[in-house]
Amino acid sequence: MSLWKRGYAKGRASRPMQPTEVPSVLWQWEYGWMSPGRRALLAIWRIASKPLPGVLVAVGAFSVGMLLGAGPDSTAVSWQLRHQLGTAERRLEAREGELELVRLQLAHMNVVMANSARYRIPADLSGQIYDVALSEGIDPDVAFHLVAVESEFTGSAVSPKGAIGLTQVMPSTAREMNPRLTRDDLFHRETNLRLGFSYLRDLIRTYDGNLRLALLAYNRGPAVVDALRKRGRNPDNGYAGAVLSDGVERDR
């Protein structure tokens, strides 16, 4: 038994010495001769002798041992590898989404510029016709042909019957679609395009997808087309053929 243990036991003979009890002077003297490793082990042993800290130390030591000792097959390392792989996959998906967006934008620009050159109109007008047609559910080819036939892409055009703008919308038709619109509103480019394409879309639905009849009704009015058909007469006046030229599908 070491010197400090003998002295401590002699002074406390009334009860057994507890492992965690040390006399301050002798303990400090002998502790100073311990190696750093022994000091650390002794400190861990003293903490581990208490219930809750001991459990924490044991769990921490077990976790560190699993991570360092089990190698690549450990649960912790496997989780870390899966996390890194998932992060890489998400970054790749985000990059692929960005590339797809760029492809769509380039395709959009190509179509807009092609129609701009084909009809000899400004690129911004070409882009607006294309975008509004898509948003209103109209084939862009039909939309371009309709505007070409109706107004030759002249936003200020007014027909002898009073039809206005790019799509030659009648003020009475516009008021039926939106009572708040004024005649001046029909000279606004986007407003006129939306009214004309929306009206054509409604006519296509009315005639069960028959684009030719819808175009005839757009030009002559639904009442005239319906009356002629009821009498067994062909309502065709050449307008639908003009809009559906260049291989545009006639029935959708």
Do 75 and 8 sit in the same domain of this protein?
no
- What are the φ/ψ torsions at residue 32 (nearest 5 degrees)? -65, -20
CA 73 to mean position of chain CA atoms: 37
CATH number at residue 156: 1.10.530.10
173 pLDDT higher than 70: yes
Contact 137, 201 (CB under 8 A): yes
Could you tell me the residue range of the domain that residue 99 belongs to?
70-119
Considering the domain boundaries, does residue 252 fall inside one? Answer: no
Question: According to the model, what pLDDT value does residue 180 have?
Answer: 94
**Tell me: the pLDDT tens digits for 44-61?**
556 555 554 444 445 455
Question: According to the model, what pLDDT value does residue 23 have?
Answer: 46
Considering the domain boundaries, does residue 248 fall inside one? Answer: no
**Tell me: the pLDDT tens digits for 98-124?**
777 778 888 888 899 999 999 999 999
Average pLDDT, the chain: 78
Q: What's the whole-model pTM score?
A: 0.62
Rg (CA), the chain: 43
Label residue 10 by pLDDT band (50, 70, 90). very low
Question: According to the model, what pLDDT value does residue 92 have?
Answer: 74
CA 251 to mean position of chain CA atoms: 34
Question: According to the model, what pLDDT value does residue 97 have?
Answer: 73
Question: According to the model, what pLDDT value does residue 208 have?
Answer: 95
The candidate with the shortest Cα–Cα distance to 112, out of 134, 93, 95, is 134
Do 135 and 199 sit in the same domain of this protein?
yes
Beta-carbon contacts of residue 122 (< 8 Å; ≥ 6 apart): 116
Do 113 and 127 sit in the same domain of this protein?
no
Q: Structurally, how many domains does the chain consist of?
A: 3
Do 91 and 198 sit in the same domain of this protein?
no
Considering the domain boundaries, does residue 10 fall inside one? Answer: yes
Do 143 and 224 sit in the same domain of this protein?
yes
Do 49 and 104 sit in the same domain of this protein?
no
Domain boundary among 55, 85, 119: 119
Do 157 and 236 sit in the same domain of this protein?
yes
Q: Give the DSSP H/E element, type plus range, for residue 173.
A: helix 171-177
Contact 204, 249 (CB under 8 A): no
239 pLDDT higher than 70: yes
Question: According to the model, what pLDDT value does residue 251 have?
Answer: 37
Do 142 and 230 sit in the same domain of this protein?
yes
